[in-house]
Structures are given as structure tokens and as C-alpha cells.
Homo-oligomer: A and B are copies of this chain.
């Protein structure tokens, strides 16, 4: 007697198959077996809107970021990919499988249209944010790859080399990027993995980075987290609630296809934490310009107190000229602010037996020429923290605006 395997599929599969986006509930197809230990299980965010999600969205705890090389030379195939990614990304952010059929239904002689490791996990606050790198527009020889050269913004010129850069090409650049943030790493990994699967034949993963313990709060409702130096990080970050500053410092507002979008600077910053850990507490605080405990400026007060850069210490100002917070504060940089969204990372061990660890810096900003290059240049010259930092990866992307109903991501670029 032969038993049909189809008849052995549990009822959960039927739920997956039946659940469409129209049912509305996040995780309608996945959450029936939700793990109660998962953090942020209840959160889900709309995929479509004026801006892409994952920028001012309250920063989730986990990250999987991937940069892709486009391997096809066909513009039509590239557009088809972006349509397929839009469809799958919208589904996954709502807690649904990547494809309409799901990981456990459909024909047994076909590969599933979802890989399955997120079955039973809720949306977990997943956001998926897409970006376009300079090399999508022109190749290394300056040739127009997909008929997009004329639409390439001037601000998307590749970042210059900075002093102190020890960039690994295998951790830098990329034609496309996808930032997946969630409160459960398995959900973030599932998203990137399925987009890579869907893109097979059109794109290949160039590099990817996992992160944890968001190092920036992007909402006033969030506490400021700590980086691997043990200090609060991102106290002066632009928050979602500061709409005037977002319009000024984050969102592109010209009349191009990028209006409502932004630029994303990604920098992989290794920290020499073993050396840092042997520095006296007082030196650590001097380098940062803040106390380790509360994150208050060394001039006094609480975390959010205004620093007094003139207050004298025992040897010059108490907040040293080369203190990190002084170097990067808006008042030291023509009022420039950025929206940071970085994550801590530990990627095993380096060749010297130290932890391969640091900060994966992600920042959204209106123009890298005004909002990143000057500050980074200054940091490399005068910031006391530079001695403990090694820049090992770098990339720049234009982040298209939000995706309207029926649209695919970047549609304005291709159908201008």
C-alpha cells in the first residue's frame, strides 16, 4: 500500500496556502506556532508608503544586510527581479511566506517558493529596505549598463578613499543592497535568503553582514543602546519624531526619481576591543567625551544635556578637542545631522586571536557629499577613537522612495 505524502501534510500548511495579503493579519500564515520567546513578536510594519520602511522605523534588534552583484545584462530581467522582490518583500514583512504557495504546499515535484525556516515565527517587526549602488548605473569603465546612466544622481559618485581605510573589496560596494531588520535574527536571515533565492540567475550575493544589538535609537521611545566599547551610542541621532530635521537631513527633495528617498552609507568598522579593554576608564571616557555609565557629556548633566565645550578640565577643556562626541556633533559640523541605524557585529575571530568585532555603521542622509564625506574626513584626522577603529568595508547606495500601491521598488527610476 502506498501512502500519499500529500495527505500527511499538517493543517498548518493549508492555513499557509489559504492566507493571502488580503486577510490583513500579520503572520496569518506563520504565527500559529509562534515561539513565545521571540522578541517583538507582535510588531509588523506597512511595506508601502511615502518612504521605505526600515529608515525611521524604530530600530529593530537584529540585522541581515546583503549587497548583490547584478549578473544579468538584461534591463527587462532586472525590472522583473525588482517586481519579484517587491512582491516577496511585502509578503514577508507581513509575516507571510515569500511566495504565494508557501514552503509546504504546492507540487511535490517543484521547489517550494519559500524556504521554510520562518514557519511558526511572527513578522517580528521585519522591514526590508532596498538601495541602488553606483555600479548599477555605470560599470568600472563608465559604461551605461541598463540605460540608467543619465538618471544617476551626482551625489551617488563612489565615496573617496579616507585615511585609515583598509577596505576589503569583498566587503565593499555592490549594485543593489537589501537591509533586513527584525527582532528575530532567523526572520531577518530568512528574508535575505529568500530574496537571494528568488534572484538566482539575475543577482549573486556579493557580501552580507549580520548584526545585533542596534547601536542607535531612531525613536524617542527607545533607550540608547551600547556599542562594543561599552558606551551609549547615537544619543544625538535624528529621531523619527523630528520631522523637520528628517526633511532637511535625510529625505531627498529634488524633482528626480529619488525624491522621497535617501542615501545609505554602510561602513564596516572593526574595533580593536582587546586593546580598548586595557585602557583606563578615564581615558575611555576622554576619548568618547561622555561618561560610560550614563552617557552624559563630561561637562555634566544627563545623557541628553547639551555639552559645554568650553568648560575647562585639568588640562585643556574637559571635553577634549579630539573627543569623539565633539568631533561629530552637529555644532562642530555646520549643523549637519544624520540618521544612524548601525548594529554591533562579531564575526568570529581574526588572525591575531582577537574577536573580529565592531560596528556595522549604517546611516541615511540627504547627500553624502555634505553629510558624510566632510565628517568622515575630519574624524580620520582628529578623532581620538580612530586609534581603536579599522574601516574594513564601505558602500554607498541611493535608496529609492517608498513604494506606492501597485508599484515595484525603484519604479520611478526605470519608468521615468
Contacts and interface: CB of A to CB of B under 8 A. Distances in A.
B3 A110 contact: no
A141 interface: no
B213 A185 contact: yes
Interface string A66-90: 1001000000000000000000000
Q: Which of A66, A117, A355 is packed against the most chain B CB atoms within 10 Å?
A: A117
B3 A103 contact: no
A223 B115 contact: no
Contacts of A119: 226, 230, 292-293
Nearest to A344: B186
Contacts of A5: 282, 285, 291, 298, 318
Contact of A208 (B189, B293, B355): B355
B13 A349 contact: no
B3 A117 contact: no
Interface in A342-358: 344, 346-349, 353-355, 357
A23 interface: no
A117 B112 CA distance: 41
Given A33-B223, A349-B206, A115 B293 contact: no
A346 B296 CA distance: 36
A104 B318 contact: no
B208 A185 contact: no
Q: Which of A40, A61, A226, A300 is packed against the most chain B CB atoms within 10 Å?
A: A226
A96 to B, nearest CB: 15
Interface in A325-364: 344, 346-349, 353-355, 357
A12 interface: yes
Given A213-B117, A227-B117, A294-B9, A40 B37 contact: yes
A108 B230 contact: no
B281 A104 contact: yes
Interface stretch (A126-134, A196-204, A258-266, A373-381): A196-204
Contacts of A45: none
A172 interface: no
Contact of A111 (B1, B116, B280): B280
A274 to B, nearest CB: 7
Contacts of A62: 185, 212
A312 interface: yes
A107 interface: yes
A279 interface: yes
Contact of A280 (B108, B230, B313): B108
Nearest to A116: B230
B104 A312 contact: no
A269 to B, nearest CB: 15
Contact of A205 (B35, B104, B115, B349): B349
Contact of A293 (B13, B35, B107): B13
A146 interface: no
Given A8-B298, A313-B2, A355 B223 contact: no
A194 to B, nearest CB: 8
Contacts of A205: 349, 353-355
A110 B355 CA distance: 22
Interface in A207-226: 207-210, 212-213, 223, 225-226
Contacts of A151: none
A120 B295 CA distance: 12
Q: Which of A225, A280, A291, A292 is packed against the most chain B CB atoms within 10 Å?
A: A292
Given A12-B293, A205-B349, A206-B353, 6 more contacts: A3-B318, A5-B318, A9-B294, A16-B293, A37-B61, A185-B185
7 contacts: A3-B298, A3-B313, A38-B61, A69-B353, A106-B281, A111-B279, A205-B355
7 closest residue pairs by CB, A with B: A116-B230, A10-B294, A108-B282, A104-B293, A39-B39, A204-B353, A186-B213
